[in-house]
Amino acid sequence: MTAMTPEDAVRHVVSTDPTFAVEEVEVRGVAVKAFKNIPASVPALLAAGWERHGDGALEYLAYEDETYTYAEFTASVYRMARAMQDELGLRQCDRVAIAMRNYPELLMLVLAISSFGGVVVFVNAWWTTEELDYALRDSEAKVVFADGPRMKRLMPLRETLGLTLVGVRDGEGQTALDFSTLRGAAKSDQAPEVSIDTDDDFAVMYSSGTTGHPKGVVQTHRGAVNAVFSWLMQSVVAPLVDPPEPDAPEPPRPSALAVTPLFHVTATHPVFLLSLPAGAKITLMHKWDAEEAVRLIRDNSITRLLGVPTQSADLMEAAKRMGETLPSLDYIGAGGAKRPAAQVAQLAKTFPNAGVATGWGMTETNALGIGMIGDDYKARPDAAGKLHPPLQELSILDDEGNPVPNGTIGEIAVKGPQIMRCYLNKPEATAETVVDGWMRTGDLGTLDDEGYVTILDRKKNIIIRGGENIACLDVEGALHRHPDVLEAAAFSVPDERLGETVGAAVQLREGTTLTLADMAAFLDGHLAKFKIPAHLWVQHDVLIRGATDKIDRRAIRAACLAKQEAKV
């Protein structure tokens, strides 16, 4: 077979494979390209993947010593969907929250809730009671499935918010309702009979923005499934661009290790949801442990790892210590944060069978966006990659919203069926972010003549710590609760392992002091632990201000980092 260019391969697949046929549709008054023949909804992905999973017979999900065939998993999904309808009285469009670590039940619940037309509300498992209170009020979710630690944080909210709490795993027995009892009470394991429109809401997933509270990103079924099939198409395009040898064996069944939290799009969409039509097996880890990850990949012939850059770096060091090259791995991707450029070649050398990849996407884009793999990435380790075809459009815009020439820095904007419907309860923020169908990402970058995007900075005041987005205003708001803090500015501090950590500069009242330990103790319970500053600069003078007399966060950051550098 003669190798095709990536562009020719995409055109060939779109024109010859009915699965990836494209049509123009109108979504919320905007014309976009979308796949014509794919499933209309997220729960329909279950049926679409049946044949690829051996007509249900293949092992689909593994967690510690538990395994589920695809048929067992599907039956469990539908039983829980029926139980939620019959026992809990839930109906189409009801919002149902999930608050737990990565358990098999989380995957089942995502599909069970969406199977009866409900809307999944993903709750960050690290949030405090205060943060949970905000999200549940904002989403108006009245039913919450929670494991033990999350259940304890939710209990103080049960009466005031009128919550129905359902225990999962170590959360069972803490309230009158348990996951296992509910599932056992179901009268059917057949899919609920409900009509779901492709533009109905699928999920609310919270993302830290520039405001003091996270924004609820409302994702539709159309957005999620079009993102999934955009990734699936890459597996069809790849052998056309890089044809296998004539006598090469059949590629192994894809098998993914889920290592990031399933309340983020990096794990839900390109790992979990993609696994359904791709025929891939999923293995869940109880908690990230690099050496355990090496053992799981080695012993279970796992082919795919997608995590934050810190995890691929940890995996590389653990594999070296253990003398493993993990030959089954054919994909090592990174999302959620930028991977250090030097790490790209190191990973390729340590795992010679794997294509090292990078990706950029957002909760607001159902994780679909930009990426590259292999030689392209090794040649451009500082870049983010190219736009994933064939549905998306991309433009680099100036402050007035006009496209800028290639090579000129501007704000990255994307358009397509994958764009969120809105920010929940925030019409002004939605209108500022989505303009005529174009999603203003808040990331600054350049586009070269070959179509490669390089991300250079952020317009938004966001810190990305190990893949977790942290709003500076969220941290500052919590710091201002301290009686001795007059002003506060939060900003990113470079970190070799996590990429960035949280730093803060504060102005204190005269005659007072504040240590890093004191500050951390004060913020405990107000902020999730990953948001609490790891670095603190204290002064009694006014913080640096700009021309409009507002706090100049960038100047404050530069001054604090200079002081830190001088001490080293």
The predicted pLDDT at position 388 comes to 97
Q: Determine the Cα–Cα distance for residues 523 and 517; give it in Å rounded to an integer.
A: 10
Do 455 and 384 form a contact (C-beta atoms < 8 A)? yes
How confident is residue 340, by pLDDT bands cut at 50, 70 and 90? confident
Helices (H), 330-410: 341-350, 375-379
201-211 pLDDT tens trace: 999 999 875 55
The DSSP bridge pattern shows strands 66-69 and 485-495 to be: unpaired
Hey, what are 273's tokens? Answer: 């949801």
Contacts of 338 (CB under 8 A, 6+ apart): 309, 358, 384, 455, 499
The pLDDT, as a whole number, for residue 209 is 57
Query: pLDDT at residue 26 above 90?
Result: yes
What's the DSSP call for residue 184? H
CA angle centred on 312, ends 354 and 250, rounded to 5°: 25
Please state, in angstroms and rounded to a whole number, the distance separating the CA atoms of residues 373 and 359.
9
Q: Which domains does the chain have, with CATH numbers?
A: 44-49+64-204 (3.40.50.980), 462-567 (3.30.300.30)
The pLDDT value recorded for residue 207 is 86
Tokens of 302: 């796992």
In this prediction, residue 509 has a pLDDT band, given cuts at 50, 70 and 90, of confident
Q: pLDDT band for position 467 (50/70/90)?
A: confident
Distance CA 202, CA 122 (A): 11
Q: Which residues of 30-48 are buried (b: 16+ CB within 10 A; e: fewer)?
A: eebbbbeebbebbbbbbeb
Tokens of 175: 């309230």
Percent of the chain at pLDDT exceeding 70 = 98
